[in-house]
């Protein structure tokens, strides 16, 4: 079982909340032959995906929490069949998670147009 303490340790390294709370990530730790979590078809908005291989305690609640930091979501994005939350909290670089998400998407127009941003007006 993944604990809050385990998630917090991973978040402190810069890993996003979704990966920090995923069983695949925790099961791969210490296994040198596995790159990242070992699921190469997974990933987040940076690669145009909604963490399709995610398995963890927030499986049906990823829209309720910011996919970057894990705090309560202020808005959400739809990627494929998955709804992911994001927040407007300010991080260590004085930018919000929403700003980070926009930067992730701005470099790749193909990925960006496949993503639907929901509740943008509430930010």
pLDDT at 114 over 60: no
**Total structural domains within the chain:** 1
DSSP 32-94: TTS-TTS-TT---GGGT---TT--STTTTTTTTBBTTT-SBPSEEEEETTEEEEE---B-TTS
Domain that holds residue 44: 4-122
Over the stretch 80-107, which tens digit does the pLDDT of each residue have?
A: 778 899 898 886 667 888 888 777 766 5
Mean pLDDT of the chain: 79
Where residue 57 falls among pLDDT bands split at 50, 70, 90? Answer: very high
């Amino acid at each position: 079982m993944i604990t809050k303490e385990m998630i917090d340790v991973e978040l402190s390294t810069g890993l996003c909340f979704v990966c920090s709370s995923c069983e695949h990530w925790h099961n791969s730790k210490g296994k040198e032959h596995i790159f990242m979590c070992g699921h190469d078809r997974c990933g987040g908005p940076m690669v145009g995906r909604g963490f399709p291989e995610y398995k963890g305690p927030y499986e049906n609640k990823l829209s309720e929490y910011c996919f970057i930091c894990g705090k309560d979501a202020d808005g959400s994005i739809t990627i494929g069949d998955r709804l992911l939350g994001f927040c407007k909290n300010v991080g260590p670089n004085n930018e919000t998670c929403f700003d980070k998400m926009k930067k992730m998407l701005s470099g790749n127009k193909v990925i960006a147009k496949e993503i639907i941003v929901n509740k943008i007006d509430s930010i």
